[in-house]
Amino acid sequence: MQQQSKKYTKMQKTIKFRFKAIGALFIAGSCLIGCVGHQLGKNNSGEYKNGMVVSANALASEVGIDILKKGGNAVDAAVAVQFALAVVHPNAGNIGGGGFMVYRSAKGEINSLDFREKAAGNANRDMYLDQAGNPIVDKSLYGQLAAGVPGSVAGMVEAHQKYGKLKWEELLAPAIRLAADGFKITARQAREFNGMKARFTKLNPLGTAMLKEAKWAEGDALVQKDLAHTLSLIQEKGRSGFYEGEVADSIVSEMKRGNGIISKEDLKNYKAVWRKPVTGMYRGYEITTMPPPSSGGIALIQLLKSVEPFPLGKWGYNTDSTVQLMVEAERRVYADRASHLGDPDFYPVPQAGLIENAYLKKRMSNFTWAKASTSAEISAGEIAPLEHEETTHFSIVDRDGNAVAITTTLNGSYGAGVVVHGAGFLLNNEMDDFSVKPGAPNMYGLVGGEANAIAPNKRMLSCMTPTIIAKDGKLFMVVGTPGGSTIITSVFQTIVNVIDFNQSMQAAVNAKKFHHQWLPDQIDVEDKALDSLTKVKLAAKGYKIVPRGAIGRVDAILKTKWGYYQGGADPRGDDTAIGW
């Protein structure tokens, strides 16, 4: 834990809370990369009483907190943040992708919204295979054919209609101004735009706002007039402003330019779906998370229940015993995921059996401290692949205690790399989240089975894990992260860091992480996540330890016992927590 303290202290010093009227944000070139907060409701520890927004971008967090100050609730703020992220965080924020929302009201009502993308009506099981039956990798990753039918706009419309307070038009206005007037890009975004130039050029022969001849640099203004126009149509007409009319025509024209298969009928027929959340208990805490077609919720409950019988708090953060136990739980849970999880509208997911205590006890019964299990000998259990790491998550709590956790994605960074000409938004490449060929790994090494095979109008499996936790009937934590296959384990570790290791929200987010996903049979480890002695002990038991870069970008909120909100904004990105 000492290895995190310096980074945490540095993070505290660099996060700045300022109060500024929202109108000033949208003067061209006035991007403020920092945290803004009203002093009202703030205590001496930098915790806030009236609400909090934590997202991947400072401007999006600003938009959300301003909506809360105007009297909007957490869902109003979430809608505004989602559309703002489509402008200021284009690698993952989106209107051309999809995602999941978990909701908890101040009174304890829970719900979840599935606005995951769907396969087009003309999709087929073998659409990405060659004549020999082998996957053609690029076909499901790049270009128009890689895109599923987008769900984000329909999801935001559904959420607002059910729970929103402010007018729809008011929630779209900040994103429209940001797109039309422009904003200053961050250093990270400049690097990304420059790195994507060749792909953008190849896939967008008619041009895009993210392409220019000179190199992008920090502070350059990104102006997106086409996107502003699309957002204005959505502002005026709601879902029909996206799924019908001018924007639908642009999407279908884009499909024809690149052999895509999404039709006007696919767009018009898309529906977001309210689903019953997955729930469970961990050490007296009430876990509410996302059901299928996300695998994240079931997997998270499985992981927590698998380790609950053991004294993690006594063993300590990232000790060899803690890591070994968590890895063995992850190995078994990801094996289950490969065989048993898919779109519940197409496949009978054995949800109750997967999270049943006796089943999980049996799954862990062949675990031994003496040596590592091998993934070859761990198959899916008997019951009586996935997103790219450029997903994005945001957490919001309003002054009344209503909470929203949303994870949304284009899949790969900048999705399929295709910007819909004339409409200004990126298409997703979510079709790679299906089992393109059951039993074969996808781009992130995840293996899927028949439950996640491609079928027309089917939703692809996901790892997204937006989660809300309560204690004794009162809100405790809102948490989630991007990270593809590492999403589940990152959320798992963040929760354990707080509950078992008594870390603050920011320290739990900062904490170095590790990951195991059954196949490949290895522990992926962030730099300095494990000390040298722990690595030696694990290696002696047969664990393969593989160093890698950043794992996850957790954005989370913790409610303290005194009723204040602590934000945790991940320093691995441009993420920003703002409270008031």
pLDDT in tens, 349-395: 999 999 999 999 999 999 999 999 998 888 765 554 444 567 999 99
Polymer length of the chain? 580
**Is the model more confident about 59 or about 412?**
59
Active site residue 534: no
Backbone angles phi, psi at 503, to 5 degrees: -80, 150
Cβ pair 295, 339 in contact under 8 A: no
Q: What is the pLDDT of residue 486?
A: 95
**For residue 10, is pLDDT > 50?**
no
**For residue 275, is pLDDT > 60?**
yes
Which H/E stretch holds residue 298?
helix 296-307
Cβ pair 505, 498 in contact under 8 A: yes
CA torsion, ordered 74, 76, 77, 78, to nearest 10 deg? 80
Q: In 382-462, at which residue ranges do the beta strands (DSSP E only) sit?
A: 392-397, 403-409
**Local confidence band at 446 (pLDDT 50, 70, 90 cut-offs):** low
Q: What is the pLDDT of residue 390?
A: 74
State the chain's mean pLDDT as an integer. 90
Cβ pair 452, 481 in contact under 8 A: no
Q: What is the pLDDT of residue 441?
A: 61
**93-103: average pLDDT:** 98
**For residue 343, is pLDDT > 80?**
yes
Contacts of 574 (CB under 8 A, 6+ apart): 33, 56, 57, 58, 186, 188, 189
Residues paired with 453 in a beta bridge: 435
**Local confidence band at 229 (pLDDT 50, 70, 90 cut-offs):** very high
The CA–CA distances, whole Å, from 543 to 327, 337, 517, 521 equal: 10, 22, 13, 8
**Is the model more confident about 492 or about 136?**
492
Q: What is the pLDDT of residue 451?
A: 85
Query: Per 3-state DSSP, what percentage of the chain is helix, strand, and coil (rounded to 5)?
Result: 40, 15, 45
Q: What is the pLDDT of residue 435?
A: 83
Q: Among residues of the chain, what percentage have pLDDT more than 90?
A: 83
**Is the model more confident about 305 or about 3?**
305
Select which of 230, 289, 322, 391 is catalytic. 391
Q: What is the pLDDT of residue 448?
A: 57
**Is the model more confident about 553 or about 444?**
553
The CA–CA distances, whole Å, from 220 to 93, 199, 206 equal: 19, 20, 22
Contacts of 278 (CB under 8 A, 6+ apart): 288, 289, 290, 291, 297, 298, 301, 351, 355
> Pick from 485, 518, 486: which is nearest to 379 by CA?
518
Rg over CA atoms, the chain: 22
DSSP helix/strand/coil, 252:
helix
**For residue 142, is pLDDT > 50?**
yes
Q: How many CA atoms does the CB half-sphere of 306 hold within 13 Å?
A: 29
Q: What is the pLDDT of residue 1?
A: 41
Q: DSSP secondary-structure letter at 564?
A: P
Per mean pLDDT, which range of 32-46, 293-307, 365-379, 400-414 is the poorest?
32-46
Q: What is the pLDDT of residue 436?
A: 78
**Local confidence band at 27 (pLDDT 50, 70, 90 cut-offs):** very low
**518-532: average pLDDT:** 95
Contacts of 57 (CB under 8 A, 6+ apart): 84, 85, 88, 89, 93, 574, 575, 576
